């Protein structure tokens, strides 16, 4: 897979100095087949979830994170929602500051503001001295922001795989772990242990992350909080709001207002 050719569109571009921005609009359920890039790549989406397949794992990223892919790493992509997409190629000398493996990088306010400014001006190749200084500051702030391997980890475990796929497909499904154990011919204790070993969290915690990611997408689309709560399997809107606030530090409506303000 490392022998995948680089895309003609990449080869036609000048080397980033230090960054090169590309902008696209994706339709819902867009797939990109396996490919790789000659430079490191920062991926940014406007809402929802970006799902990347890597040679040894799957990486899922909500819009609140940037996705970093080092140069030459093969990957494929699946995008569920229609969204705006920004790809930033990174010069080799600058990329050496970033992790050597694909990962997620959070967007604290300054990182978001620096990226928003580049995007608002439609900068492609960074050429002006002020833009070069801003680009290098952006990467420095990304380094300071740290990284995580994945927000929503996956597993190829034969017992967990059907459960994970089902929850991803229907986040509002409230089937208990005990009921899942019966379906996959196992025990609740065994599944609980597998979740901890394979994913580093409990079944409920993993399902909560799936629900949060779906809620973020629906809020961006204007869906009512009550309808989101119902569709995600919560008995009351207040139960959903409590989960959302615990995970994000703000209420769903405040999150929506921030989106509108942005």
pLDDT in tens, 110-132: 999 999 999 999 999 999 999 99
* Sign for the pseudo-dihedral over CA of 228, 154, 146, 16: negative
Q: Is the pLDDT of residue 52 over 80?
A: yes
Q: For the beta carbon of residue 179, count every other beta carbon within 10 angstroms.
A: 10
CB 126 within 8 A of CB 89: no
Q: Can you tell me the distance from the alpha carbon of 262 to that of 49, in angstroms, rounded to the nearest whole number?
A: 19
Q: What are the structural domain ranges in the chain?
A: 8-145, 160-261
**Mean pLDDT, the chain, integer:** 91
Q: Where are the alpha helices (DSSP H) in the chain?
A: 8-11, 92-95, 109-120, 129-145, 160-169, 177-183, 188-199, 203-220, 225-231, 237-248, 252-261
Pick from 221, 226, 258: nearest CA to 83: 221
DSSP labels, 21-43: EEEEEE-TTEEEEEE--SSEEEE
Average pLDDT, stretch 33-57? 89
pTM more than 0.85: no
pLDDT, residue 257, reads: 79
Residue 5: HSE in the Cβ half-sphere, 13 Å Cα cutoff: 4
CA distances (Å), 252 to each of 109, 239, 258, in order?
Answer: 19, 12, 10
pLDDT, residue 49, reads: 74
Higher pLDDT, 165 or 28: 165
Pick from 97, 93, 88: nearest CA to 124: 88
Residue whose pair of structure tokens reads 């000048």 in the numeric block: 14
Looking at CATH, the fold of the domain delimited by 160-261 is given as: Arc Repressor Mutant, subunit A (1.10.10)
**For residue 20, what are its two tokens?**
């090169």
What is the second-level CATH architecture of the domain 8-145? Sandwich (2.60)
pLDDT, residue 8, reads: 87
């Amino acid at each position: 897979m490392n022998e995948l050719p680089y895309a003609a569109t990449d080869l036609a571009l000048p080397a980033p100095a230090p960054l090169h921005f590309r902008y696209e609009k994706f339709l819902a359920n867009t797939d990109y087949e396996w490919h790789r890039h000659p430079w490191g790549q920062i991926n940014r989406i406007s809402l929802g979830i970006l799902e990347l397949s890597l040679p040894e794992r799957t990486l899922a990223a909500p819009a609140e994170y940037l996705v970093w892919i080092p140069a030459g790493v093969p990957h494929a992509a699946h995008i569920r929602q229609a969204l705006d997409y920004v790809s930033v190629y990174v010069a080799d000398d600058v990329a050496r500051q970033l992790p050597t493996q694909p990962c997620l990088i959070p967007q604290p306010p300054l990182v978001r503001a620096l990226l928003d400014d580049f995007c608002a001006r439609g900068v492609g190749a960074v050429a002006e001295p002020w833009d070069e200084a801003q680009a290098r500051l952006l990467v420095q702030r990304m380094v300071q922001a740290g990284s995580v391997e994945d927000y929503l980890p996956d597993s190829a475990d034969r017992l967990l795989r059907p459960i994970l796929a089902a929850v991803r497909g229907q986040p509002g499904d409230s089937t208990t772990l005990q009921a899942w154990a019966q379906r996959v011919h196992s025990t609740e204790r065994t599944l609980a242990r597998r979740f901890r070993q394979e994913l580093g969290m409990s079944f409920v915690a993993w399902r909560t992350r799936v629900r949060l990611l779906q809620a973020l997408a629906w809020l961006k689309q204007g869906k009512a909080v009550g309808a989101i709560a119902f569709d995600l399997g919560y008995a009351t809107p207040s139960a959903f709001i409590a989960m959302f606030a615990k995970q994000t530090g703000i209420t769903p409506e405040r999150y929506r207002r921030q989106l509108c303000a942005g």
